[in-house]
Amino acid sequence: METFGTLGERGLIERIRATARPPPPPGRLDDDAVDVAGVIACVDSVTFERHMPPGMSYGEFGWMAAAASLSDLAAMGARPTGILAAMLLPPGMPVGDVLDIVGGMDRCAESCGTHLYGGDTKPGAGSVSVTALGDMENREPMARSGAREGDAVAVTGPLGGPAAGFECLRNGWDPVGGLKDAVASLYSPVPRIDWGVLLSGSGAVTSCIDLSDGLATAANAVCDASGVGMLFEASFLPEGPGVAVASGRLGVPAAELMTSFGGEYELMFTFPRERLENIHSSGVPFHVVGYVDGGDGARLSLDGEERRLEHGRY
């Protein structure tokens, strides 16, 4: 019998596409932000069990809950106009902890130039679902489905910090050598709203996605939506804080931490190489990490060998 656990999130999305009616063009039933009658909307959920690592405060958990959805708006290039939150909370949870979650969501919304407008609260195991609304302000939205063979692939910032932070907490390491910053990047991700707005305004981006689920999962999502492949060069990946320390202690390649975990809220985008100057002119920091080709999904070139990038684990 197939279960959610055996299918995984991406596999279940394919089953959902086969079950629900497809939305009107240019809509595509997926887990990213969508344009609904001119309003950009998205929803994401976090749970105490999966998304609250040791040491994270309820305020930080609330921040992460809001950031997850606001980051999807950033990937489309939308300016946030509001968030709504539905919380399923244990009946015995202290009210102060609940208010800390709400405060965290509000602070994240404020950092992105918007407000928490309301939502719903019910008894439950411990989860928060945030719906984020946004406006393209007459810019063209960036989708996952426009990448073309020959495009360059870029990311807006360092990778692997949240993975290093998680391993630091899981293994009880002393947070030294960049691990303190790595833990902070795991606890308080920053949606790249302004960079998304600038990239969408550049007119040069052919596809875009956020990296909250990790580079491997994000790249495969764009490959599936665009009908292309991607090849990344491991030596081009910008290394986040603590990655070198965690890689050495775990005995795994740094590239594994930078591609297969997640928790980064950077943007990954593609653009025609001849439009490089447009990207530079946008003012968005970026690192070219690979290119789009006709290969089989997302792959990584590491030490002269090419291997398939599987979906991440965060």
Q: If residue 44 lies in a helix (H) or strand (E), which one and from where to where?
A: strand 39-47
- List, as one string, the DSSP characters of 111-148: HTT--EEEEEEEESSSEEEEEEEEE-TTSPPP-SS---
Q: Which residues pair with 32 in a beta bridge?
A: none
Q: What is the dihedral of CA 198, 202, 206, 207, to 10 degrees?
A: 0
Domains of the chain plus CATH, in order, are: 31-135 (3.30.1330.10), 152-308 (3.90.650.10)
The answer to which of 26-35, 79-88, 111-120, 158-167 has the lowest mean pLDDT is 26-35
Q: For residue 219, is pLDDT > 80? A: yes
Confidence of residue 5 (pLDDT cuts 50, 70, 90): low
Question: ∠ CA 196-87-217 to the nearest 5 degrees?
Answer: 40
Lookup: tokens for 244:
């070198």
**pLDDT digits over 226-283, tens only?**
999 999 999 999 999 999 999 999 999 999 999 999 899 999 999 999 999 999 999 9
pTM: 0.89
Main-chain phi, psi angles of 255, to 5 degrees: -60, -30
Lookup: tokens for 136:
């393209």
CA 146 – CA 141 distance, rounded (Å): 11
pLDDT attached to residue 24: 60
